[in-house]
């Protein structure tokens, strides 16, 4: 099991294969269980300066959407002036990535395409959070 601070997501080689983000750190299934249990009880999964997942009790929780519709995604990419850049990047990816992009109805932060697009756009996690927040109101 792996945790990526960039996507604030969990990955397994069995499911994600080689699509695990480069910043992912290995965690045990026991650590994962503790994190999920803590999240279920109102805590927030964050990461420390080394990218290791930690639980935090936020003073005020800012809810950042983890899913947006493809319509919201494309409209926000257009508003941000990067739609053409993203479409060019997608066109250069393998067929599975192109099918995923063209036929998904929901753009989930856990989608393996997100780290690839973050790299193309040179966006960090905070910028992607802002993108999802902005797109969610479209």
pLDDT tens sequence across 88-98: 999 999 999 99
Does some domain include residue 88? yes
Q: How far, in Å, CA of 93 to CA of 30, rounded?
A: 36
* Structural domains of the chain, count: 2
Residues 86 and 33 grouped into a single domain: no
Q: How far, in Å, CA of 73 to CA of 45, rounded?
A: 25
Does some domain include residue 25? yes
Residues 100 and 73 grouped into a single domain: yes
Q: How far, in Å, CA of 62 to CA of 44, rounded?
A: 10
Indicate if the pLDDT at residue 2 is higher than 90.
yes
Residues 50 and 86 grouped into a single domain: no
Indicate if the pLDDT at residue 59 is higher than 70.
no
pTM for this entry: 0.57
Does some domain include residue 93? yes
Does some domain include residue 61? no
Q: How far, in Å, CA of 89 to CA of 93, rounded?
A: 7
Residue numbers of the domain that contains 9: 2-56
Q: Where are the alpha helices (DSSP H) in the chain?
A: 13-16, 29-40, 70-79, 83-91, 95-103, 113-121, 125-136
């Amino acid at each position: 099991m792996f945790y990526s601070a960039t996507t604030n997501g969990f990955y397994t080689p069995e499911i994600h294969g080689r699509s695990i983000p480069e910043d992912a750190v290995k965690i045990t299934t026991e650590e994962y269980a503790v994190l999920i249990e803590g999240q279920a009880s109102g805590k927030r999964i964050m990461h420390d300066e080394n990218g290791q997942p930690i639980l935090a009790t936020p003073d005020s929780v800012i809810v950042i959407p983890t899913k947006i519709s493809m319509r919201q995604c494309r409209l926000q990419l257009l508003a941000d002036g990067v739609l053409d850049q993203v479409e060019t990047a997608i066109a250069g990816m393998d067929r599975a990535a192109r099918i995923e992009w063209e036929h998904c109805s929901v753009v989930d932060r856990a989608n393996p395409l997100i780290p690839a697009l973050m790299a193309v756009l040179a966006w960090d996690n905070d910028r992607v959070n802002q993108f999802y927040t902005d797109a969610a109101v479209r």
